[in-house]
Amino acid sequence: MADSKTVSVGGRIPGLDLAVPRMLRPSQFPSRLSFPAPAKPPLRFRVLAMAVKRSPKRLKYSAPRFTKEGGLVYVEADPSGEDIWKLDPIVELLKQGAVGVIPTDTVYAIVCDLKSPSAIERLRRIKHIEPSKAGSKFPLSILCRSLRDIDTYTTGFPRGDGQGHASIFRAVKHCLPGPYTFILTASKELPKRCMRYGTPTAKYAARKDVGVRIPDDAICREILEKLDAPLISTSVKGLKENEWLLDPVAIADAYGPEGLDFIVDGGVRVADPSTVVDMTRITPVVVRQGKVTELLQ
């Protein structure tokens, strides 16, 4: 391959009657594909992302695609979703059973293919979810593309009882996509591995409920759309401390050695988890107060 420093771009090679075509940047290639411009991320996300951009620790992950010892792929993506082409290799990894970290509209999440039993087992090991705790506090939830995904893997939202509860479903539609996790009764379509965990001799209760989300995050939604399937997820916390890990660089340092396959860096997040609402009964019950309370007002 000719050295780019010795060839004049757009000129001629000395001694040869051959014109050297001008190099085009990827952005100059014509494309028939167009994507709707997503809304800009909240200012606090952009400011915090810029604040850590030049930190020495972050510089080692500064390449668009970075492979660390052990095979950790690190991709930096614009929070607005302007460079969604960078997400293509992440989608391919997920299809192959990879376990990785992506941003959501709240905190970062460890995700994998919902239909891959081996990937789900690896996710549990990476997150250190013990069999005895797998059925408590709903550690795994589904990141969905739309209400159709929710209808597929759950029995759906309560439709009311004729006594003032008929507006629940309309309120849910108004709030989604958004920072909510709704606990619903799982359908037969949901793989058992998403609800049960343990050895054949271990004592564990089969969960009949599962948390579902439709995140309002450009990066997360693009990954789900490109994958054309929902993902199983669990929020990212410190391995020893029960605190959210909000900086993807800190996540790489903590979970890279645990066997994580990839991280999508969408900037530093704010410690605002989703609001968790149990909708397995006629009257919704708030399990965890999170980022917003609009549904309850």
Output the tens digit of pLDDT for each of the chain's 297 residues: 444 443 333 444 344 344 434 443 444 434 333 334 444 444 333 323 333 343 445 545 544 444 444 579 999 999 998 899 999 999 999 999 999 999 999 999 999 999 999 999 999 999 988 765 544 444 689 999 999 999 999 998 876 655 555 567 888 888 899 999 999 999 999 988 787 544 444 444 455 889 999 999 999 999 999 999 999 999 999 877 778 999 999 999 999 999 999 999 999 998 888 999 999 887 888 988 877 655 555
CB neighbours of residue 66 within 10 Å = 17
C-alpha closest to that of 138 among 277, 294, 291: 277
Task: Tell how many helices (H) and how many strands (E) occur in the chain.
Answer: 8, 11
Question: Mapping DSSP to helix (H, G, I), strand (E, B) and coil, where does residue 94 land?
Answer: helix
Position 199, amino acid: T
Query: 67 with 18: CB under 8 angstroms?
Result: no
Nearest of 42, 50, 93 to residue 72 by alpha carbon: 93
Contact (CB, 8 A) for 267 and 76: no
pLDDT at position 240, please?
76
Q: What is the largest CA-CA distance in the chain?
A: 88
CB-based contacts of 226: which residues, under 8 Å, 6+ apart? 84, 87, 88, 91
- Token pair in block for residue 34: 């167009």
The per-residue pLDDT for 27 is 42
CA nearest to 294, candidates 169, 174, 147, 157: 174
Across the strands, what pairs with 100?
111, 262
Residue/partner pairs of 289-295 with CB below 8 Å, 24 or more apart: 290/106, 290/179, 290/180, 290/181, 291/105, 291/106, 291/179, 292/175, 292/178, 292/179, 292/180, 294/175, 294/178, 295/171, 295/172, 295/175, 295/180
Query: What is the per-residue pLDDT for 46?
Result: 34
Please, what is the Cα angle at 202 between 197 and 204, to 5 degrees? Answer: 55
Task: Describe the crossing of helices 218-227 and 88-95 by its angle, rounded to 10 degrees.
Answer: 50
| β-bridge pairing 275-278 and 65-67 | unpaired
Tell me how far apart the alpha carbons of residues 192 and 224 are, in angstroms, rounded to a whole number.
21
Phi, psi of 153 (to 5 degrees): -100, 0
Residue 97 and residue 258 in contact, taking contact as beta carbons nearer than 8 Å: no
Phi, psi angles (nearest 5°) of residue 109: -135, 140
CB 269 within 8 A of CB 151: no
Residue 5 is predicted with a pLDDT of 40
Query: In the CATH scheme, what architecture does the domain 61-296 have?
Result: Alpha-Beta Complex (3.90)
- Three-class DSSP category at 102: strand
Q: What is the pLDDT of residue 293?
A: 54
The phi-psi region of residue 91 (left if phi > 0; otherwise alpha if psi is between -120 and 50; otherwise beta) is: alpha
